[in-house]
Chains A and B, each alone.
Chain A
Amino acid sequence: MNRVLVLFVLSLLLVGCMGMKVRVSDGRGDYSIYKNGSLACSRSDSCEVFPSGDAVYLEARRNNVVYSGMAVYRECRSYDGASGPSSISPTNDFLTVSVLGTVSFASWAATAGDCRGYFPLEVVIPVGLKDSLQAKNYPWDKPITSQSRLH
């Protein structure tokens, strides 16, 4: 009984502390990921950050050059009671069932009747232009023409 109580309290504390996987849209792994200006991951192909507060600013950098940045906010989700964790696999292990049960209850308790919000489990930082050919073919080595002049 004491063990179940400890697990229940622990799961309440851990809800909302899940990591957020981060990757970049061009699929490269050689970016560094910065969270709120500080280095979070040295590579972008296996990056998980643990955001706090209501928002986090992520940047993808390579060789100290910022390639892209984006703000990520908590998603506002309300608990409808019908949804919940996927079915618990049958098991004879009482401890496993207790843990899964307390985590489920803790998740419900954290969101029931209120929109508390969570960060997404995964985000993709968009890098480059939608039309990558435009970015690749822009004539940077040619003089500025009237068509390419800044307005």
Chain B
Amino acid sequence: MIRYIAIILLLASSLWAKKEYFILPVQLQGVHEDYAEKITSLVREYAAIDGFAIVSKKEDCDYLLQIKLLREEFGVAVIFEKRKKNDKVVWSYGHIAYTPNDFIPIVSHVSHEIK
């Protein structure tokens, strides 16, 4: 009986395991690399709050996270793509940021969606 419970718990453990993301190099277009660092560090902060992990090795992750910062006429398009390890995009979200302060609600929303 105990053996069966242990097997069930082991199989079910994947249901509450933390999702692990590897952040790919941020793609920049007309944006300084300082903003890549800024948004990446925000993602790490929100990962700690919302309960998912950022790993340092691609092979250890469940998903890849691609961030793009693309200069528009007014502001920067901030695009997040959640990808499987084979690079297939499973979810994406884009929002305009007019100043760097706009990164915060965008990252907060994305973090809530991908946790």
Contact = CB atoms under 8 A, between A and B. Distances in A.
A128 B74 CA distance: 7
Given A65-B77, A65-B79, A144-B32, A138 B99 contact: yes
Q: Assign chain A's interface to a size class.
A: 20 to 34
Contact of B94 (A64, A128, A135, A144): A64
A129 B98 contact: yes
Contacts of B32: 140-144
Q: Assign chain B's interface to a size class.
A: 20 to 34
B35 A140 contact: yes
Nearest to A136: B74
Given A140-B31, A141-B32, A67 B96 contact: yes
B71 A128 contact: no
Interface string A50-70: 000000000000011111100
Interface of A: 63-68, 128-129, 132, 134-136, 138, 140-144, 148, 150
The 5 closest A-B pairs by CB, nearest first: A65-B94, A144-B34, A135-B74, A135-B98, A66-B95
9 contacts: A63-B94, A65-B79, A65-B96, A128-B75, A134-B98, A138-B99, A140-B35, A148-B100, A150-B100
Interface of B: 30-32, 34-35, 38, 69, 71, 73-77, 79, 92-96, 98-101, 103-104
